[in-house]
Structure 1
Amino acid sequence: MAKIEARLEELGITLPAAPAPAANYVPFVQSGNLLYVSGQISNGPDGLILGRLGASMDADEGATAARFCGLALIAQAKAALGDLDRVTRVVKLTGFVNCTPDFTEQPKVVNGCSDLMVEVFGDAGRHARAAVGAPSLPLGVGVEIEAIFEVE
C-alpha cells in the first residue's frame, strides 16, 4: 500500500469522491511540478456546510468546515495524480471565510485544513498560507480553500 494511503487508513480518513466543477473551470491544473487545485467548498457527509462565521457559525464549526475543504483538496490531488505519494510538498493554501465584518478568527478557521495537511503529509504538509474574510461565498458555504501542491 502506498505511504499516504496507509497514513489515511491509519488516521481513519476516507476521502470523498473528487467534486465535479460547479461552473466553467477545471478542478486542477498541473504546470511543471506544481499542481494547482481549484477552490473546494465546505461540503460534509450531510451536504454543504452553510453559514457565516460570526453569525450562524463559530470558529470551531468553521474549522470543521475547513477540514472538509481539505479532504476535497486531497481527493482532487488524488484524482489528478493517481498516487498521493507523488505529492512532495503542500506549498500553499488560500482560505476564504464567509464572515461578518467584525469576525477576526479566520486563521483559526483555516487551521482546520492546515492541521489536516500536516496530519496526512507530515512535514511535507507544512505550507505557506493566507486566511481571508469574505462577505459571501458560493452557495452560502462557510469556507472555501484552494491549494498548490509540489509533485514529482
Structure 2
Amino acid sequence: MEVVSSPVPNGRYVIAKRHKDVIYTSGMTPRRSGVLVYTGAVKPGCPVEDYRDAAVMATANAVKAALQLLEAGERICEVLVLTVFVAAEPEFTDHPRIADFASTYLYERFGANGVGARAAVGVNSLPGNATIEIQLSVVVDHVPKFHPA
C-alpha cells in the first residue's frame, strides 16, 4: 500500500531534514492525500493484524518524505532507526508486534539494510487521534554508475 501523494506538514515543521548523508523524517501518521485514515487507540484483545495497514501506510509516508530529499543518482541505502509510536489503551502491551509490520515493510523495500535499531513506544494519544506514528532515520548513498566493459 503506497501513499497517493507526498506527505504535507500539518504545522510549523518540515517533513524531513537532511544532514550530510543522513535523513531524519518527522513523525508520519497513516494519511492518504493528507487525510488521516486510521484513528483511535489500539484495544487489547483485538488482533494486531487489524493494525497492519495503518503501520504500513505510516511507514510508506515516512519513506516518501525521505525520498523527497534525495538528489539525482542517490538512494536510501540503509535504515538506521525506526521509531514506532502506538496509541494504545493502557492494557495493550503488544506494541512490538505492531512495530513488526513497519519493520517488515522496510525489509521488503530495502532488504536486510531496511532493518535498523527500533523502538516501539505506547502512548496515550497521537496527533489527530492517529493510531500510529512512524519516524525514520536513513542513510543516503550514490547509485553506482554502470560502465559497460
TM-score by length of 1: 0.83
Higher helix content, 1 or 2: 1
The AA in structure 1 aligned to 2:19 is S
Cα distance, 1:18 vs. partner?
A: 1.8
Structure 2 Cα separation of the partners of residues 125 and 95 of structure 1: 15
What pairs with 1:108-147 in structure 2 (closer than 5 Å)? 108-147=97-136
Whether 1:97 aligns to 2:86 is yes
TM-superposition CA deviations, 1:23-71 (whole Å, max 9, x none): 1110111112110011100225884211110169642122221110111
What pairs with 1:58-97 in structure 2 (closer than 5 Å)? 58-82=47-71, 86-97=75-86
The AA in structure 1 aligned to 2:7 is P
Whether 1:54 aligns to 2:43 is yes
Contact map agreement 2:44 2:91 (CA 8 A) in 1 = no
Aligned pair count reads 140
Counterpart secondary structure, 1:16: coil
The partner residue of 1:19 within 7, 21, 38 is 7
Question: Which stretches in structure 1 are left out of the alignment for 5+ residues?
Answer: 1-12
The AA in structure 1 aligned to 2:37 is L
Over the matched positions of the two proteins, sequence identity in percent amounts to 28
Tell which deviates more after alignment, 76-85 or 117-126. Answer: 76-85
Structure 2 counterpart of 1:29: 17
Cα distance, 1:112 vs. partner?
A: 1.4
Contact map agreement 2:4 2:32 (CA 8 A) in 1 = no
Structure 1 counterpart of 2:144: none
Structure 2 counterpart of 1:7: none
Structure 2 Cα separation of the partners of residues 26 and 141 of structure 1: 19
Contact map agreement 2:79 2:114 (CA 8 A) in 1 = yes
Question: Which stretches in structure 2 are left out of the alignment for 5+ residues?
Answer: 142-149
Computing the radius of gyration from Cα coordinates, the structure with the larger value is 2
TM-score by length of 2: 0.84
The AA in structure 1 aligned to 2:4 is P
Q: 1:56 to 1:78 in 2, by over 3 A?
A: farther
Structure 1 Cα separation of the partners of residues 73 and 126 of structure 2: 29
Contact map agreement 2:29 2:134 (CA 8 A) in 1 = yes
